[in-house]
Amino acid sequence: MAIARHHRRGTLALLLAALTAAGATLAGCGTDAQSGTGSGGPVTIQIWDGYQSAEATAFSHLVSEYEAAHPGVKISSLYVNNDDTLQKVLTAVKGGSTPDIAYLYGSWAPQVAEIPQVVNLTQVVKQSSVNWNDFYVGERDVATVNGKVIGIPALVDNLAVVYNKKLFQAAGLPLPGANWTWSDFVADAAKLTDAAKKQYGTAYVTPGTEDTVWHWEALLWEAGGSLLTADNKQAAFDSAAGLESLQTLRTMAVTDKSMYLDPTDETYQNLFNSGKLGMLVTGPWDLSSFPNVDYGVQVMPSYPGSSAGHQTISGPDNWVVFNNGSGQVSAAEQFLTWLTAAPQVKYFSMQTGDLPTRASVASAAGFDSDMDKQLTGVSTFIDNLSNVKQARPQIPQYSQVSTVLGNMIVSVLLGKSTPQAALAAAASQVNSDLAGS
């Protein structure tokens, strides 16, 4: 096969054309998105948040309202799933491209406090207009690390019991009362379990992550125990309270088999919505996932003999400000203080069904019933905010402690170890982790 030489130029030209086209695409696409003050131009604040559907609509309404009132400010918000935000923020931090404001889980606060670009808001929140003490104590504890305020509360929640009224009635059980105890819960769960119908009394999430841990921590606190010693240097959960709380879970998971174990952390929602679960210990965010169930909400049961009553646990999240220059920082702070002021908090809660972050909003007349019209049962969660008395230890090693505790709980739930053994093993592991760092 003879190939004429002139063909070569043709193919070479084709190749070059293809590469040039690629190059042109790269060069041609994209204008530079400037975030920051041009000379005399508007200030653009970049926010990374995870708001969807109702929350997204409410948030963008508030953003437009603020922009209308402040013509020199533009707010650009980017959706980032809250679970992914940390990866994106950490990469941005290391790469020097931080946003102005980001929505970050409260459980990350101890590490977030170590990021040098995070702005110290202690002086900002001291301003009387901010009314810092109007935020619930659980939120303030999570926004503060070693006396430094690193965020403004964006969200608050807590754990309570959501139950299926129809299943209770079918089993002939009285609906949970405000003074119920854990023995009531365990007994109810056993009666609501029906192997033939593949129906369970309750469920527990078992991926071994913090979700597994914080559900149990509420029980630990209710039993009168605490996680770590006051100086956060040693484990304190291997106590009678620790034992009692683990026993409660074990009875349901292993002995009564009334507890569905969900390693995926998602299945339980659809199961409850399909009428296969009698009760769930969960938070207000799940309520909108239960359209098919006539549910009721009750505070968590208590342990008689413990003074902690119906104490619950909360998982607040923070708006965090990053330092991209003093102009950006002050614009961001101004926006945040406006966004988290009482009128905006009330608006946001009413539109989304999210709990209000401010006590003044929650206690306003008619608020509870108005919220219930928006989302059934949420008023119990709002009232339950007064049952939040403490927060998880705000130390950087908390994530290590959490891993140890997660394994402890899962091994008890799977019947792989007894509560005593699991507690002892976890305590010694936690002690060495805390000592080692």
Partner 1 sequence: MSATSAPARDELRPAPDDGLPAPRRRLRLPFSPWHLVLIPATVVLLFPFYWLIVTSLETEPDALHFPPILIPHVLRFANYADALASAPFVRFFVNSAIVTATTVLCNLVLCSLAGYAFARFRFLGRGALFAVLMATLMVPFQVTMIPQFIVVKWLGVHLLAGVGIDHLGALILPNAATAFGIFFMRQFFRTLPLEYEESARVDGAGRLTVLVRIVLPLATAPLATLAALTFLDSWNDFLWPLIAITSPDKMTLQLGLATFQGAHATEWSLLMAGNVMSLAPMLVVFFVAQRFFVRSVAATGLSGT
Partner 2 sequence: MAVNSMTRPGPGRSRPGRGGLARRALDSEQFNGWAFVTPGVAVILLFGAVPIVWSAVMSFQKSSLGSSTPFVGLVNYRTLVHDPVVSQAIQHTLIYTALFVPGTMVVGLFLAVAMNRKIRFISVYRTAAYATMAISAISEAIVFIWLFDPSYGVVNFFFSKVGLPQQQFLNSPSEALYVIVAMTIWGWTGFAVVVYLAALQGVPRSLLEAAAIDGAGPWRTFRRVTLPLLSPATLFLAVWLTINALQLFDEVYLSTQGGPLNATTVLVYYLYEQAFEQFNFGYASAIAYFLFLIIIVVTALQFWLSRRYTFYRS
- The answer to whether 218 touches 227, Cβ cutoff 8 Å, is no
- The listed partner (partner 2, partner 1, none) that binds 78, CB under 5 to 8 Å by sort, is partner 1
Residues in contact with 82: Cβ distance below 8 Å, sequence separation at least 6, in sequence order: 50, 103, 105, 317
The answer to whether residue 260 forms part of the interface with partner 2 (CB under 8 A) is yes
| Whole-angstrom distance, CA of residue 141 vs CA of residue 390 | 8
**Any idea what DSSP says for residue 284?**
G
Nearest approach in angstroms of CB 380 to partner 2 is: 29
Is residue 399 a contact residue for partner 2 (CB under 8 A)? yes
Cα distances (angstroms) measured from residue 283 to each of 93, 97, 229, 294, 389: 31, 34, 27, 16, 17
Region of residue 325 (phi > 0: left; psi between -120 and 50: alpha; otherwise: beta):
left
Closest to partner 1 by CB, 291 or 436? 291
Residues 6+ away with beta carbon under 8 Å from 134: 342, 358, 359, 360
Distances, alpha carbon 249 to alpha carbons 9, 145, 192, in Å: 77, 32, 16
Can residue 203 be called a binding residue for partner 1 (CB under 8 A)? no
Is there binding between residue 30 and partner 1 (CB under 8 A)?
yes
CB of 352 to partner 2, least distance (A): 25
The reply to whether 298 sits near partner 2 by the rule CB under 8 A is no
Q: Does 32 bind partner 1 (CB under 8 A)?
A: yes
The stretch near partner 2 (CB under 8 A) out of 260-268, 291-299, 349-357, 384-392 is: 260-268
Candidate ranges 62-70, 134-142, 272-280, 425-433; the one touching partner 1 (CB under 8 A): 272-280
92 interacts with partner 2 by CB under 8 A: no
Q: Any contact of residue 294 with partner 2 (CB under 8 A)?
A: no
The neighbour count for residue 166, using CB atoms within 10 Å, is: 13
- CB–CB of 202/322 below 8 Å? no
114 is an interface residue for partner 2 by CB under 8 A: yes
Residue among 13, 20, 22, 421 that touches partner 1 (CB under 8 A): 22
User: Per-residue DSSP letters for 23-68?
Assistant: HHHHHHS------S--SSS-EEEEEEE---HHHHHHHHHHHHHHHH
Nearest-10 Cα torsion for 307, 177, 159, 203: 110
Specify burial of residue 286 (Cβ count, 10 A radius: 0-12, 13-18, 19+): middle
Tell me which stretch binds partner 1 (CB under 8 A): 26-34, 113-121, 304-312, 390-398. 26-34
122 binds partner 1 (CB under 8 A): no
**Which amino acid is it at 120?**
N
**Residue closer to partner 2, measured from CB, 75 or 293:** 293
Calculate ∠ Cα 40-42-46, nearest 5°. Answer: 135
Q: Does 379 bind partner 2 (CB under 8 A)?
A: no
Say how far apart CA 357 and CA 377 lie, in whole Å: 17
Our CB check for partner 2 shows the closer of 146 and 264 to be 264
Judged by CB, which is closer to partner 2: 194, or 372? Answer: 194
Cβ neighbors of 332 (< 8 A, separation 6 or more) are 45, 100, 101, 119, 321
The whole-angstrom separation of Cα 159 and Cα 215 is 8
DSSP 116-149: TTB---HHHHHSTTT-GGGB-HHHHHHHEETTEE
Bridge-partner residues for 317, per DSSP? 105, 155
> Which of 265, 288, 294, 327 is close enough to bind partner 2 by CB under 8 A?
265
* Complex with partner 2: residue 382 or 423, whichever CB lies closer: 423
Instruction: Tell the smallest beta-carbon distance from residue 376 to partner 2 (Å).
Output: 27
Running DSSP on this structure, what letter comes out for residue 255? I
- Least CB distance from residue 47 to partner 1, whole Å? 11
298's enclosing H/E stretch is strand 295-298
Q: Which does 70 bind (CB under 5 to 8 A by kind): partner 2, partner 1, none?
A: none
Q: Which residues, 6+ apart, have CB-to-CB distance to 291 below 8 Å?
A: 273
Using CB distances below 5 to 8 A depending on partner kind, what does residue 400 bind out of partner 1, partner 2, none?
A: partner 2
Nearest to partner 2 of 16, 178 (CB atom) = 16
**170 is a site residue for partner 2 (CB under 8 A):** no
Hey, which residues between 46 and 105 contact partner 1 (CB under 8 A)? 46, 50, 52-53, 76-84, 87-88, 90-92, 94-97, 99
Binding residues among 176-235 for partner 2 as defined by CB under 8 A: 198, 200, 206-209
Could you say whether residue 128 binds partner 1 (CB under 8 A)? no
Residues at the interface with partner 2 (CB under 8 A): 19, 86-87, 90, 93, 111, 114-116, 198, 200, 206-209, 260-261, 263-265, 267, 396, 399-400, 403, 407, 410-411, 414, 416
Residues at the interface with partner 1 (CB under 8 A): 1-3, 5, 7-8, 11-12, 14-15, 18-19, 21-22, 25-30, 32-33, 46, 50, 52-53, 76-84, 87-88, 90-92, 94-97, 99, 266-267, 269-271, 273-274, 276, 285-286, 288-292
